[in-house]
Amino acid sequence: MWSTSSKQIVTDILALNGTMWSTSSKQIVTDILALNGTMWSTSSKQIVTDILALNGTMWSTSSKQIVTDILALNGTMWSTSSKQIVTDILALNGTMWSTSSKQIVTDIPALNGTMWSTSNCCSLFDSNGSADLENKLLGVWSESVEYLLDMDPAFQLTGLVALVNGE
């Protein structure tokens, strides 16, 4: 993931409601989002490797058309199956989980459009009890990283990329 504003690769993003936060630089990243490997930066008006800008029109360079049923403007995510806005998705190893509806979202592409269900998604969120959403996500981030460290090295990078793309 590449940030057109800071001109550097971002490997540690946590996202919520369209806000992307870099844990390394301790700042909000407003110009990057991944979607099926298609990336368009509305600020720089050019394609950036695997980057789609927030607060702008979503454009698929592979299908050469605007994507209207996956992510709306300002980082709003819309589920075409449940017909509702999904505001709390976390991606891990291609799995997207909604903490509000307590179910896997199967129609919003994760990394490379892959969706994968593991029991870890549920347990990660449930382990935080009644903590507020911010602490809940930070807890999930921490536990997810620990989970990744226990994974086979061959899958760690894929898991990490999915995690940092996880609004």
Confidence of residue 101 (pLDDT cuts 50, 70, 90): low
Domain assignment of residue 76, yes or no: no
Tokens 């789609």, residue?
52
Q: How many CB atoms lie within 10 A of CB 108?
A: 22
Q: Is the pTM of this model over 0.75?
A: no
**pLDDT at position 19, please?**
55
**pLDDT at position 80, please?**
45
Structural domain harbouring 124: 88-164
**pLDDT at position 67, please?**
44
Q: What is d(CA 160, CA 91) in angstroms, rounded to the nearest whole number? A: 9
Q: Specify the pairing of strand 77-79 against strand 65-66.
A: unpaired
Domain assignment of residue 104, yes or no: yes
**pLDDT at position 125, please?**
28
Tokens of 32: 């990057």
Q: What is the dihedral of CA 43, 53, 39, 148, to 10 degrees?
A: 140
Our count of domains for the chain comes to 1
- How does DSSP classify residue 127? T
**pLDDT at position 33, please?**
42
Domain assignment of residue 117, yes or no: yes
Confidence of residue 55 (pLDDT cuts 50, 70, 90): very low
Domain assignment of residue 8, yes or no: no
**pLDDT at position 27, please?**
61
